[in-house]
């Protein structure tokens, strides 16, 4: 009997060893694939025009990844449809880590407004890493002669429906920010959507629209140079790069809070080992002195995360943004 028990034990041990060996054999190709990556140029798609916050971040990350991966990393801009054109191109790309998307939380608003026509961020993408988060900045043309949110509201009430605000696209955070201001203060402002933050900012600088909701990365330099009047930031905290700008709540709009984030996403079904490799490299770039200095100078807050943390952030923001969109009855029929 003892001999049979030992035989069974030996057989069981042998089966476990064989199972472990089989697992290693299955893992080896995937591990080798991750070690060989990339085999050619890596493209980061930006769904907005050159010059905006997303574009600037993407180009810094591309430069850092080029050095770390040993292959060229380039940026391609595919603007239009509030970011949906670029997102669709990225989603349809091969899931091999050679095409990435610098996405923003504006993609979630687009998904909420057009659930059956546009990208589903959860279904169509594999999260890689968060990059940064921050508020928008409400800026005004110097020609208006206003310096505060209160003065803007007074002017808007004197000229209902005549003052226009620019956003970086219908269905974007800039659009939602404007509708939130209208709902909270009962003023009538006209929405004028542009194809990105840079064109929206140019419209304010050129006096074509009165105000705009844009990123601090886009507006900061012009505010400091006196070319734009900074009125407030939409987040819950002031920006170190623009410390004199109050939050919207401090400026007299209680309960107002809106921030957005940027992240690197890969097409769905990208192998987990490639996602892990990219996460490691991107986090290293984000923590580099160059990127940290850039964000400190331009505004916003660096965020580093693991892929699973990005997934949780996407899910929680989908719920929060759904409530905000519903509360202001945001529409795309501009």
Cβ atoms of 78 and 46 within 8 Å: the answer is yes
The pLDDT assigned to 209 comes to 96
Short-list 41, 57, 22, CA closest to 299? 57
The highest-confidence range among 17-31, 41-55, 313-327, by mean pLDDT, is 313-327
pLDDT category of residue 32 using cuts at 50, 70 and 90: very low
pLDDT category of residue 26 using cuts at 50, 70 and 90: very low
Short-list 166, 172, 223, CA closest to 198? 166
pLDDT category of residue 25 using cuts at 50, 70 and 90: very low
pLDDT category of residue 34 using cuts at 50, 70 and 90: low
pLDDT category of residue 297 using cuts at 50, 70 and 90: confident
Residue 166, both tokens: 């620019």
pLDDT tens-place string over residues 66-109: 999 999 999 999 988 878 899 999 999 999 999 999 999 999 99
User: Quick check: 8 pLDDT over 60?
Assistant: no
pLDDT tens-place string over residues 146-169: 999 999 999 999 999 999 999 988
Task: Read off the pLDDT of each residue in 208-224 and give the average, rounded to a whole number.
Answer: 91
pLDDT category of residue 142 using cuts at 50, 70 and 90: very high
Q: Which residue did the predictor score with more confidence, 222 or 31?
A: 222
Q: Which CATH topology does 40-133+261-328 take?
A: D-Maltodextrin-Binding Protein; domain 2 (3.40.190)
Short-list 205, 126, 179, 132, CA closest to 329? 179
User: Quick check: 240 pLDDT over 60?
Assistant: yes
User: CB under 8 Å to 179, separation ≥6 — which residues?
Assistant: 191, 328, 329, 330
Domain ranges of the chain: 40-133+261-328, 135-233
Can you tell me which residue has the tokens 């060893």?
17
User: Quick check: 112 pLDDT over 50?
Assistant: yes
Task: Read off the pLDDT of each residue in 126-146 and give the average, rounded to a whole number.
Answer: 95
Do 40-133+261-328 and 135-233 agree at the fold level?
yes
Task: Read off the pLDDT of each residue in 133-137 and give the average, rounded to a whole number.
Answer: 93
pLDDT tens-place string over residues 49-65: 898 888 999 999 999 99
The pLDDT assigned to 232 comes to 98
Buried b (16+ CB within 10 A) or exposed e, 111-126: bbbeeeebbebeebbb
The pLDDT assigned to 31 comes to 46
User: Quick check: 333 pLDDT over 90?
Assistant: no
Task: Read off the pLDDT of each residue in 175-193 and give the average, rounded to a whole number.
Answer: 96
The pLDDT assigned to 331 comes to 84
Q: Round the average pLDDT of the chain to a whole number and report it.
A: 89
Task: Read off the pLDDT of each residue in 6-14 and give the average, rounded to a whole number.
Answer: 50
The pLDDT assigned to 10 comes to 47
Task: Read off the pLDDT of each residue in 291-307 and give the average, rounded to a whole number.
Answer: 88
Of all residues in the chain, the percent with pLDDT exceeding 90 is: 72
Task: Read off the pLDDT of each residue in 231-242 and give the average, rounded to a whole number.
Answer: 94
pLDDT category of residue 295 using cuts at 50, 70 and 90: confident
Global pTM?
A: 0.81
Q: Which CATH class is domain 135-233?
A: alpha beta
Short-list 210, 166, 189, CA closest to 52? 166
């Amino acid at each position: 009997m003892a001999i049979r028990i030992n035989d069974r034990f030996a057989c069981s041990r042998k089966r476990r060893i064989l199972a472990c060996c089989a697992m290693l054999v299955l893992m080896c190709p995937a591990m080798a694939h991750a070690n060989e990556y990339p085999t050619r140029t890596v493209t980061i798609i930006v769904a907005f025009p050159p010059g905006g916050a997303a574009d600037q971040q993407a180009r810094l990350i591309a430069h850092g990844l080029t050095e770390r991966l040993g292959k060229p990393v380039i940026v391609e801009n595919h603007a239009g449809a509030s970011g949906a054109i670029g997102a669709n191109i990225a989603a349809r790309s091969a899931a091999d880590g050679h095409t990435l998307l610098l996405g923003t939380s504006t993609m979630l608003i687009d998904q909420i407004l057009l659930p059956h026509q546009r990208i589903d961020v959860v279904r169509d993408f594999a999260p890689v890493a968060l990059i940064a988060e921050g508020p928008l900045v409400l800026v005004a043309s110097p020609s208006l002669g206003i310096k505060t949110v209160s003065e803007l509201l007074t002017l808007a009430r004197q000229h209902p429906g005549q003052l226009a605000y620019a956003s970086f696209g219908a269905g974007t955070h800039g659009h939602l920010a404007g509708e939130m201001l209208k709902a909270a203060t009962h003023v009538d402002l006209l929405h004028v959507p542009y194809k990105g933050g840079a064109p929206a900012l140019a419209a304010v600088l050129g006096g074509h629209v009165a105000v705009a909701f844009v990123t601090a990365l886009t507006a900061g330099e012009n505010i400091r140079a006196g070319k734009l009047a900074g009125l407030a930031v939409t987040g819950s905290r002031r920006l170190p790069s623009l410390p004199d700008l109050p939050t919207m709540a401090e400026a007299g709009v209680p309960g107002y809070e809106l921030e957005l984030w940027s992240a690197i996403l890969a097409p769905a079904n990208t192998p987990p080992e490639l996602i892990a490799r990219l996460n490691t490299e991107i986090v290293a770039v984000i923590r580099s002195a160059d990127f940290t200095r850039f964000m400190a100078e331009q505004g916003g807050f660096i965020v580093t995360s693991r892929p699973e943390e990005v997934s949780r952030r996407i899910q929680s923001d989908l719920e929060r943004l759904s409530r905000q969109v519903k509360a202001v009855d945001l529409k795309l029929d501009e």
